[in-house]
Structures are given as structure tokens and as C-alpha cells.
């Protein structure tokens, strides 16, 4: 039996397939600016760095730039619309809840560390009945820093009541691998998320293609850590 760990998850593209609702909100904002919608498939990999960056990428796809004040207005419009339509089509990835059940039964702590705003993250997880599973849900505004700054990871683990030296990051993109490397913890990459660089190229410690494989991947990292410390 390995000692209890804190399993820290990214949100968008890792826990939940949020792309449909995020892209709908993006296209709502673009439509208000008289711009054509971005296709769902190409827009998936624009997700992951927050609302403002998503809008910037959507505008870049049209070769458009806007003033900072226009960007502020568009970001506010996006967040207002998205908050009201946050879980229309967003769903947990297949196998997620069974994996979370497994970790809980083993006595591990679960936490969320995302570059989404904290209140939006909680609203989404509340609507999907997932919030109760996590000891901490921390976003880009919780501590004033974003991934890959390791402070957000360390503070998330602390808020969950865990220890960094007994924690694992699970994510789908470069910010997740980056925050884990900077915090000095192992990272499991998921291949089904949103990233402009394929996660395999970022060389996570383990790579999974379905949530059913997560418990085994996490256990192998815990076992490796335990044997390395003896």
C-alpha cells in the first residue's frame, strides 16, 4: 500500500470536455463583433490559457487585432455568456468518476488546479455534481498566479491538506507539465485534451489515452517514488 497522495487535476480537457460550451461562448462574442465563427475542431486546441487568451486566438484566426479596451469588453461579454451556459454540453470524460472513486477509496486527496477562474470552475463542477469530490478547487485568480508558476500548485496542495512531496499532477497541456516540473512532482499527461503541442512531445512521466488507465498510471508513479525513497 502506497502512502496517501494528493492527485491534482487540470480542469478543461482533463477532467471535463468543456470545448463545446467554451467554443459556443467564443463564437457568441465573435458574432457580436461581426466575425465568422471558428470551427469546433480547430478551436479545441485554443483552449487552456484562460478566456482572454482564447478570444485572442479566435481573433488571430481571422487576422484581427483589437484595442486593449475592446479586449476587456469582449472578455467580460464572454465570461457573462459562458457563466450562464457553462454546462450545456460539457461532460466529464468517460471513466473519470470511476477513477475518482478508486482514489477516494484508497485514501488519496483530490484537488483541481486550473487557469480557469475559480468561481467559474466551481460553478461548472457544481453543475456536474463533481465539486464534492475535491478537497480544493483553485483557479487563476485564487492565488494571483497561473500555471506554470509552481506557486499555484503548491498552494493548491496545501489548501487540500496534502504535501507537495506526495502529490501528482494530471493534465493535458504544456502548462500542466510545466507546473509539475517546476514544483518537482511527477505528471501524468492525458492525450484526449486541448493542446497545440501534442502532449506526448512534452514527455510527461506517464501518458494515458483513457481515464480508466489513470489509477494504474498514478499507482506506478507512487510505487516508483516509494522505492526511490528507500
Q: Which of 10, 17, 21, 205 is catalytic?
A: 10
Q: Determine if residue 10 is labeled as part of a ligand binding site.
A: yes
For 6, 82, 111, 131, 176, the CA distances from 135, given in Å and listed in that order, are 9, 25, 6, 9, 19
Q: Say whether the peptide bond before residue 148 is cis (omega within 30 degrees of 0).
A: yes
Q: Which three cell numbers stand for residue 22?
A: 467554451
Alpha-carbon Rg of the chain, whole angstroms?
18
User: In the annotation, is 141 catalytic?
Assistant: no
Question: Smallest Cα–Cα separation from 116: which of 26, 48, 19?
Answer: 48
167-171 sheet: strands from edge to edge:
136-138, 109-113, 6-9, 167-171, 187-190, 206-208
Q: What is the DSSP letter of 17?
A: E
Partners of 208 in the beta sheet?
190
Q: How far is CA 223 from CA 6, 138, 226, 227, in A?
A: 14, 27, 5, 6
70 is in an annotated binding site: no
E strands present in the chain: 6-9, 16-17, 91-92, 109-113, 136-138, 167-171, 187-190, 206-208
Active-site amino acid positions? 10
Q: Which residues are annotated as a binding site for Mg(2+)?
A: 10, 12, 172
Amino acid at each position: 500500500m502506497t502512502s496517501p497522495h494528493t492527485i491534482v487535476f487540470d480542469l478543461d480537457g482533463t477532467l471535463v470536455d468543456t470545448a463545446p460550451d467554451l467554443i459556443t461562448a467564443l463564437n457568441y462574442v465573435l458574432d457580436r463583433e461581426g466575425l465568422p465563427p471558428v470551427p469546433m475542431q480547430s478551436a479545441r486546441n485554443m483552449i487552456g490559457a484562460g478566456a482572454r487568451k482564447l478570444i485572442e486566438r479566435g481573433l488571430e484566426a481571422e487576422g484581427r487585432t483589437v484595442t486593449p479596451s475592446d479586449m476587456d469588453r469582449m472578455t467580460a461579454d464572454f465570461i457573462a455568456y459562458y457563466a450562464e451556459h457553462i454546462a450545456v454540453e460539457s461532460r466529464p470524460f468517460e471513466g473519470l468518476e470511476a477513477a475518482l472513486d478508486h482514489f477516494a477509496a484508497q485514501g488519496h486527496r483530490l484537488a483541481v488546479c486550473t487557469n480557469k477562474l475559480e468561481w467559474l470552475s466551481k460553478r461548472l463542477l457544481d453543475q456536474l455534481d463533481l465539486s464534492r469530490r475535491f478537497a480544493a478547487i483553485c483557479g487563476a485568480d485564487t492565488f494571483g498566479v497561473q500555471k506554470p508558476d509552481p506557486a499555484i500548485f503548491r498552494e493548491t496542495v496545501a489548501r487540500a491538506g496534502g504535501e507537495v512531496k506526495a502529490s501528482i499532477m494530471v493534465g493535458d497541456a504544456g502548462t500542466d507539465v510545466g507546473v509539475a516540473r517546476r514544483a518537482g512532482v511527477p505528471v501524468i499527461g492525458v492525450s484526449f485534451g486541448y493542446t497545440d503541442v501534442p502532449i506526448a512531445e512534452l514527455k510527461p512521466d506517464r501518458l494515458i489515452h483513457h481515464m480508466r488507465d489513470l489509477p494504474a498510471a498514478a499507482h506506478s508513479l507512487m510505487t516508483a517514488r516509494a522505492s526511490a525513497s528507500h
